[in-house]
Amino acid sequence: MTTALRRLRNYIDGEFRDAADGRTTEVVNPATGEAYATAPLSGAADVDAAMAAAEAAFPAWRDLVPAERQKVLLKIADRFEERAEELIAAESENCGKPIALVRSEEIPPMVDQIRFFAGAARMLEGRSAGEYMEGFTSIIRREPVGVCAQVAPWNYPMMMAVWKFAPALAAGNTVVIKPSDTTPASTVLIADIIGSVLDELGHSRGVFNVICGDRETGRLMVEHKVPAMASITGSVRAGMQVAESASKDLKRVHLELGGKAPVVVFEDTDIAKAVEDITVAGYFNAGQDCTAATRVLVQDSIHDEFVAALAKAASETKTGAVDDEDVLYGPLNNANQLKQVKGFIERLPAHAKIEAGGEQVGEKGYFFAPTVVSGLKQGDEIVQQEVFGPVITVQSFSDEKQAVEWANGVEYALASSVWTKDHGRAMRMSKSLDFGCVWINTHIPLVAEMPHGGFKKSGYGKDLSSYGFEDYTRIKHVMTSLDG
């Protein structure tokens, strides 16, 4: 006997629907490697329907006073808390994530982020009205951009959906969002939650729509004539394709792409504390995080001691089943990602040394051991390219100048950290590091009030914070004659 697969469906204009042509794709639980559901493989007809729903709902949603949009978002946050166990179960099955960590590390910040943007809806700021030409008064209006086409990734499908829909809805936009084809379950559940809130408060359910599908579905969304903005969190390649597609009709684009965060550890650092924090920041979520602490640069005087301590910490770090409360991370998200991580290890140069891990673990699923690789050079593939797995690389540097050069010497520029007791050095490094975020003596904490976003091939635009909120608005100048 075979177990019947659960059927996930698109959410368009308040209705759960199959793809118009009936096509589906299987959804696999990465902890088992087995399919547990099917999801629509949406095509042009589905994209058209979702965009039409969002477009029809936009005028009424745009014209609501901010307090009304705030009320909706606060109710959504409340409902996330009420249905937390459903969301946790969906995300754990989606990604193979440890249940306890989804409960403690994802639900609370998501709820907080929705509530932050609920407040931000009522705090749009701009220059005050004034007379900049004699006889005329100028006013600045901030307005929503319109329908937003949003594509979320598979590493944090639930949280990244929040990062996208919350600021967009708060600013008065309507949304069509596509989860990754490997992780649609939690986003479909979010649609049920948001749809019910919109219905209860008397608003069109077309304000929020979910369509499942693959890269082709995403391309159809971005190239569609209705959206005024396309937002994607994903790979550099995907971001470039979105930017190119959006350029055909000059859509606004918001891109949060890859990362290769340098972790610069100076000789005056508390090694034990640094290793403890870097281990968590490097292996959490199986290293599948654009800001993960996976590229460590250590001053040569403490290199050997640091590597030994890090290798020991890696060997003591657990990966495993979703119900094991002692594990730090679960599996890689899919078979292709496991193959990619293995490939980096298999192609290591002769001068590299695997200090810990380096292999797949378990008889089923896509688990990979916590890994430390030392002896690397700046030009090595594993140093330059994003592994997106539980692999921490270590390089040795001689002085501050070399640390800055090597830290900045990659195509990515999302996040970084500096570890030192020297305040002046920390300030110099924070100025010199060419990354959108610099942590000092920590790595990876995020708060809703502060922006998240990078430079160079890590993309442009900000998530979270008032800056992320403003990205979903446009500016209009209104000038009126004082002569009446």
Q: Do 188 and 339 touch, CB atoms closer than 8 A?
A: no
* pLDDT tens digits, one per residue of 367-392: 999 999 999 999 999 999 999 999 99
Q: Determine the Cα–Cα distance for residues 208 and 345; give it in Å rounded to an integer.
A: 42
Q: 10 Å Cβ neighbour count for 219?
A: 17
The answer to whether residue 290 is catalytic is yes
Q: Could you tell me the CA-to-CA distances from 237 to 387, 402, 437, 465 in Å, in that order? A: 14, 29, 22, 26
The sign one gets for the Cα dihedral 177, 182, 183, 185 is: positive
Q: Please tell me the total number of residues recorded for the chain in this structure.
A: 484
Both tokens of residue 407? Answer: 């830290």
Spatial distance between the Cα atoms of 66 and 437, rounded to a whole number of angstroms: 30
Residue 295: name the closest of 311, 278, 318 by CA. 278
The domain limits of the chain are 6-257+458-477, 262-447
Q: Exactly one of 290, 355, 386, 437 is catalytic; which is it?
A: 290
Neighbours of 471 (CB within 10 A): 22
CA distances to 132, 161, 209, 386, 455 from 232, in Å: 39, 10, 16, 18, 15
Token output for 95: 């990604």
Are 311 and 356 in contact, with CB atoms under 8 Å apart?
Answer: yes
Concatenating the DSSP letter of every residue in 276-335 gives HHHHHHHHGGGG-STT-S-EEEEEGGGHHHHHHHHHHHHHT--B--TT-TT-SB---SSH
Pick the CATH number of 6-257+458-477 from 3.40.50.300, 1.10.287.130, 3.30.930.10, 3.40.605.10: 3.40.605.10
pTM, to two decimals: 0.96
Q: What is the pLDDT of residue 1?
A: 43
Model pLDDT, residue 124: 82
Q: Is the dihedral of CA 88, 92, 95, 101 positive or negative?
A: positive
Q: Count Cβ neighbours within 10 Å for each residue of 65-99 and write b for 16 or more, e otherwise.
A: ebeebbbbbbbbbebbeebbeebbbbbbbbbbbbb
Are the C-beta atoms of 171 and 323 separated by less than 8 Å? Answer: no
Q: What is the pLDDT along the chain (484 residues), one digit of tens a residue?
A: 456 899 999 999 999 999 999 999 999 999 999 999 999 999 999 999 999 999 999 999 999 999 999 999 999 999 999 999 999 999 999 999 999 999 999 999 999 999 999 999 998 877 789 999 999 999 999 999 999 999 999 999 999 999 999 999 999 999 999 999 999 999 999 999 999 999 999 999 999 999 999 999 999 999 999 999 999 999 999 999 999 999 999 999 999 999 999 999 999 999 999 999 999 999 999 999 999 999 999 999 999 999 999 999 999 999 999 999 999 999 999 999 999 999 999 999 999 999 999 999 998 999 999 999 999 999 999 999 999 999 999 999 999 999 999 999 999 999 999 999 999 999 999 999 999 999 999 999 999 999 999 999 999 999 999 999 999 999 999 999 999 7
Q: Which CATH number fits domain 262-447: 3.40.50.720, 3.20.20.70, 3.50.50.60, 3.40.309.10?
A: 3.40.309.10
Judge contact between 171 and 469, C-beta under 8 A: yes
Q: Identify the CA nearest to 438 among candidates 132, 189, 425, 75.
A: 425
Would you state the structure tokens that stand for residue 341, as one six-digit string?
């991580």
Q: Which of 256, 355, 386, 470 is catalytic?
A: 256
Per the CB < 8 A criterion, the answer to whether 247 and 276 are in contact is no
Strand blocks (E) in 94-251? 130-133, 136-144, 147-151, 174-178, 208-210, 229-233
Residue 350 has a pLDDT of 98
